[in-house]
Structure 1
Amino acid sequence: MTHYLDFEKPLAEIEGKAAELRTMAQKNEEMHVEDEAAALDRKAQELLKDLYKKLTPWRKCQVARHPDRPHCRDYIETLFTEYTPLAGDRGFADDHAVMGGLARFEDRPVMVIGHEKGNDTQSRIERNFGMARPEGYRKAVRLMDMADRFGLPVITLVDTPGAYPGKGAEERGQSEAIARSTEKCLQIGVPLVSVIIGEGGSGGAVAFATANRVAMLEHSVYSVITPEGCASILWKDAEKMREAAEAMRLTAQELLKLGVTDRVIPEPLGGAHRDRDATIAAVGQTIGSMLGEMDGMKPKALIKARREKFLNMGAKGLAA
C-alpha cells in the first residue's frame, strides 16, 4: 500500500481512483475502463511533476523521512557482496541502530557502516528508529580501526534523525562517543566516502560523514538539528518547523553551494521510494566514482585532504 505524504493528498485521490477503476474492471469483465484509468495516470504524472518541481525545505524533510525510502540494509544487500556483519563495541553491547561489516563493492574489499531505521514496527523498535547509542558509535570506531589496519576503504550510509538522547545513552558517554567517532574519521589513512541517503541529523550524522567525499540524495537533508527541534528552541513552538527548515539551509542543493556536500545524486520523480532500484543503482555509481577519485592516494595525503576539506567548509557559500 502506497504511503502518501500530506502534500501528496491530491495525488492520492487521483491514483486511488485509477486503482479503483482497474479493480472494478477485474471483477466485471464487461467494464472497459482502461482509457479512463490511463487518463487518470497521465493526470497523476503531471501532478507529480508539479509537486516535485520545487519542493520547499520542509517538504524535502518529509520526503527524506518517507518510510518506504530504501534504507541502509537495502543498499548493502543490493550493492555489496560477501557482506559479513560485525557486531558489538567490545565494551557494553551491540547497537542495532548501526550496522556494519566487511564486504565487497564492485569486487573490491571494503568496510561498510550505516544507520538502519527499520522498515516495519518491530524492526523500527529494534533499530531504535536509526538513533544510535554510544555503543553504536564505538562499534563504528572499532570497524574504522580495522579498516585502517587492513587498508580497506570505508563507505558510510547516513540516515538518522540524530543520536539517541536517552538517559542511559548520556550516562554511557554519548557525546564523547560521537566525538571519538568523528575523530576517527579524521585519522584513518584509507579512502572514506559517505552518502546521506535520508536524514543526516546532528552530530550523530557527522560522526559517520566526516569523509573525503560526501554525497547526498536529491531529497535528503543534513543539519545540526531537526526543524522541529530548532523551532522548539528558537520560538518555543515546534509548529514553526517550516520557518526553521527554510532558515537552516539543510537541503542537498543548499549544502552543495556551501561546500558541505560534494555532489547531489538525482532521485526518481516522486522521490527514492517511487523507484528504489534506480535510486540504489545511482548511489552505487556515485560511490564507485568517489572511490575512483582517490585511487593511488597515500594515507598521509588522504588524511590531509580530509582535514582541509572540513576546515574550509562553508567558505565558498560565505564568499558568495
Structure 2
Amino acid sequence: MTAFSLLDLVPVVQGGTVPQALANAADLAAHAERIGFQRYWVAEHHGMEGIASAATAVVIAHVAQATRTIRVGAGGIMLPNHSPLQIAEAFGTLDALFPGRIDLGLGRAPGSDQRVAAAIRRNLDSDGNEFPRDVMELQSYFADDGRTGIRATPGAGADVKLWILGSSTFGAQLAAALGLPYAFASHFAPGMLDEAIAVYRRNFRPSEALAKPHLMLGFNVFAADSDEEGAYLASSQQQAFVALRTTGTGVRLPPPVRGYREGLGTQGNAMLDHVLSASAIGGPAKIRREIEAFLERTQADELMLTSAMYDHQARKRSLEIAAEAMRAVEPA
C-alpha cells in the first residue's frame, strides 16, 4: 500500500475565526491519526487572510500535543525567511517535546508576496539561490558535527527528518544530490511534475538519511458519499484558487456553491483544470479510480493529500473516504 499523509493549510473560513481554524486543525490531525494517515503537515504562509499557519512551529506544537503517534511537521518552512540556526532551535525544541515525530520540509519560496516578504525580513538581501548552502548548514546543526562552529541548543543531535520541497526541477536536483526525500507540490503547481520525478529518481545518491529515493506528491481530494456532493464541496477551494489567481490576494475559504464550474467561464475553467489536475473529486468509487490512475502514472512512494472544505465535518468524511481508497488501491 502506498503511504498517505495530510497537508492542512489551517483554513479560516468565511464567517469563521482563527481560534476556530486552529481548533479544527487539532481535531483534524487526531482524526487523521485514527484513520491511518502517516504524517500531518502545515505550511508557512504569510499575509494571507484565509490561512492560519503563519507561525508554523507553534501550530505544529499545538497539533502534536493533540495527537500521540502521527508524525507532525512543516510542508514547509520557507528557508529564505529564517536563519538555519533559528530553524534548528525551533525544530530541535519540537523534537525535544515530541521525540521521533517531527518532520521538516524546506522550501525556497517566501510563502508571501514581495511586500509581505520585506516585512518579515526587513530587507530582501537573502537569496533563494543560497538555499542549498542553508540546507547543508541546517543539517550540520542537527548532526552536531562542529562544521559551523556553533552548537544549536536545542537542535544539536535532534531526530528531525528533513525533506526538500519543490515545484520545479531545482528542488528535485537538490534532494537527489543530498540523498533526501522529496515532496513535489503537484496539488497546486503540477506543470513540471513529470520532469521533476525523472530528475529526482535518475540523480538520487544514497545518504545516511535515505538509502533509496522517496517521492511524495501533493494530491487534492474532495470526497463525499456521491459524485455530485463531492463536486459541490470542491467548489470552495475552486473559488479560493480563482480569487488568488485573478486578484493576487488570498481570501477566507468561501462556502460551496452548486454548479460553480458551470457558471465560471472558459478561462476560469481552463485555469482550474490545470492547477487542480492532480485531484480526485467525487464519491468513493470515483476517488479510488482517480487516485489509482495518478499512482499508476507517477509510481509515487507517498501521497500528501489535501482536502480544503468549508464544512469541518464534511472534510473529516472526505479524509475517511480517501483513506479507504488508499488502502484499497493495488500497489503501483
**TM-score (norm: length of structure 2):** 0.33
More helix per residue: 1
**TM-score (norm: length of structure 1):** 0.34
